[in-house]
């Protein structure tokens, strides 16, 4: 029987409602958290290279500012929509909350296909969007960052446009910038580092020695490839990985550095010397100790979950596990390290970048990584303690920790009676 399809907004509302019910908080708390404080929809004109004018639509959602200014990525995608942006801003609130950084959740999107735009058109879209939402964002109000199909260069254009609007430099407006204009060292690898720190701590709890342990990575992009590098540093062995064009499997192990070099040369991990191709379903069914989903959402379905043999699944991607699959994995005793915890390294180092921008004082890569490790380990311990105390899955525990912190802040600020 096919899984019931829920849109991301409905899934997020269910997760919040369940956490609110388990915590026994005031009904008004859920009423405030079940939707964003505000969502701005904008339409703005952009001159194309051929002289024509095209109108683009974009959104910026600010879910909760109870803990601090809104924070979250900004994506350029042809299939993005209002519900997706709202849901992603809500998840960002709890991702920030679970690691204890002083932000609420934000998310933005422009409905466009970057692959069909020239570099100059892309720049004009970026600048046009910031002009359209500029009065609603700011270093102490809402701080965007890169997301799907956006990057450091696009953040640089947006930072520059906002600075022109305000009449002075505002590097704290946006994170994920190039290091040369206020970006933080360590940001590019932060999601992967944060994820593997959490894997390491989880392995200790279940008595798994990562030295000699086996792992697979679904999605060998930025987060996936760097996760593989750091797992190698722990002594673990990569036996399988894949990307959108195919996979590579070798039970004897593969060097993630060599696999990454192969992908740079050939555009895919498929065909890596000594390996055979492997499907996504086959990858998840391998007898490995750890699997790191680092690709698209809804990758682990109710068809795949019954075949998972891994002891730990660490979600470096956002939303890789469907609700039905999550229930199956929980019943089977697989420790799923949820995305709001396992992939929070990126927003944590974005927070570091913002702090450095506000202070105009910059840290070394070693300082960034040490601070990241401290926060991720502490967050894991908080979630694991809730997991034991409430006898719930790690995903539910993460939501309980995160929702409680937001509700406590709302109560202290007088938003709840």
Q: Find out whether 294 and 304 touch, Cβ atoms under 8 Å.
A: no
Q: How many residues does the chain have?
A: 417
- Residue 331 annotated as binding? no
- Residue 204 annotated as binding? no
- Residue 222 annotated as binding? yes
- Residue 191 annotated as binding? yes
Packing angle of the helix pair 222-233, 256-266 (nearest 10 deg): 160
111 has catalytic annotation: no
- Residues in contact with 103: Cβ distance below 8 Å, sequence separation at least 6, in sequence order: 67, 68, 69, 70, 71, 92, 96, 143, 347, 351
Listed residue (143, 153, 154) closest to 62, CA to CA: 143
Listed residue (320, 296, 110) closest to 221, CA to CA: 296
For 306, the 3-state DSSP assignment is helix
Q: Find out whether 311 and 206 touch, Cβ atoms under 8 Å.
A: yes
For 317, the 3-state DSSP assignment is coil
223: left (phi over 0), alpha (psi -120 to 50) or beta: alpha
Tell how far CA 146 is from the center of its chain.
11
d(CA 193, CA 343): 9
* H or E element in which residue 395 lies: helix 394-412
d(CA 166, CA 230): 41
d(CA 23, CA 325): 24
Q: Find out whether 305 and 285 touch, Cβ atoms under 8 Å.
A: no
| CA-CA-CA-CA torsion sign (31, 37, 43, 47) | negative
User: Active site residue: 17, 107, 120, 177, which one?
Assistant: 107
| CA-CA-CA-CA torsion sign (75, 76, 77, 81) | positive
Rg (alpha carbons) of the chain, rounded to whole number: 21
Catalogue the E-assigned strands of 156-300: 214-218, 237-243, 246-254, 290-293
**Binding site listing for substrate:** 71, 95, 350
Binding site listing for NAD(+): 191, 222
Active site residues: 107
Annotation: binding site: 71, 95, 191, 222, 350
């Amino acid at each position: 029987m096919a899984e019931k399809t829920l849109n991301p907004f409905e899934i997020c509302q269910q997760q919040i409602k369940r956490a609110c019910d388990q915590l026994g908080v005031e009904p008004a708390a859920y009423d405030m958290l079940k939707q964003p404080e505000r969502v701005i929809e904008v339409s703005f004109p952009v001159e194309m290279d051929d002289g024509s004018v095209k109108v683009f639509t974009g959104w910026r959602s600010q879910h909760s500012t109870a803990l601090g200014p809104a924070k979250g990525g900004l994506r350029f995608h042809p299939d993005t929509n209002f519900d997706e942006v709202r849901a992603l801003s809500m998840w960002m609130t709890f991702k920030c909350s679970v690691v204890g950084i002083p932000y609420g959740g934000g998310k933005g999107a422009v409905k466009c296909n970057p692959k069909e735009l020239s570099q100059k058109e892309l720049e004009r879209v970026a600048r046009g969007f910031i002009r359209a939402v500029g009065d609603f964002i700011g270093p102490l109000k809402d701080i965007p960052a890169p997301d799907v199909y956006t990057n450091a260069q696009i953040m640089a254009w947006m930072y520059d446009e906002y600075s022109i609007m305000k009449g002075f430099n505002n590097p704290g407006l946006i994170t994920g910038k190039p290091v040369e204009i206020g970006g933080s060292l360590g940001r590019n690898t932060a999601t992967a580092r944060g994820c593997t720190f959490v894997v390491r701590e989880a392995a200790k709890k279940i008595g798994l020695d990562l030295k000699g342990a086996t792992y697979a990575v679904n999605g060998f992009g930025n987060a996936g490839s760097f996760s593989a590098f750091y797992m190698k540093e722990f002594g673990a062995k990569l036996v399988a990985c894949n990307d959108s064009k195919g996979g590579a499997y070798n039970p004897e192990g593969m060097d993630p550095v060599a696999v990454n070099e192969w992908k740079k040369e050939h555009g895919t991990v498929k065909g890596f010397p000594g390996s055979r191709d492997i499907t996504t379903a086959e990858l998840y069914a391998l007898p490995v100790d750890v699997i790191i989903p680092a690709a698209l959402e809804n990758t682990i379905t109710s068809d795949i979950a019954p075949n998972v043999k891994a002891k730990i699944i660490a979600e470096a991607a956002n939303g890789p596990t469907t609700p039905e699959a999550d229930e199956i994995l929980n019943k089977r005793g697989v420790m799923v390290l949820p995305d709001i915890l396992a992939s929070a390294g990126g927003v944590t180092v974005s927070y570091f970048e913002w702090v450095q921008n506000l202070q105009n004082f910059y840290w070394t890569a070693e300082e960034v990584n040490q601070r990241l490790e401290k926060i991720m380990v502490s967050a894991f311990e908080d979630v694991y303690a809730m997991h034991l105390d409430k006898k719930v899955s790690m995903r539910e525990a993460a939501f309980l920790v995160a929702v409680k912190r937001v509700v406590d802040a709302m109560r202290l600020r007088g938003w709840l009676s």
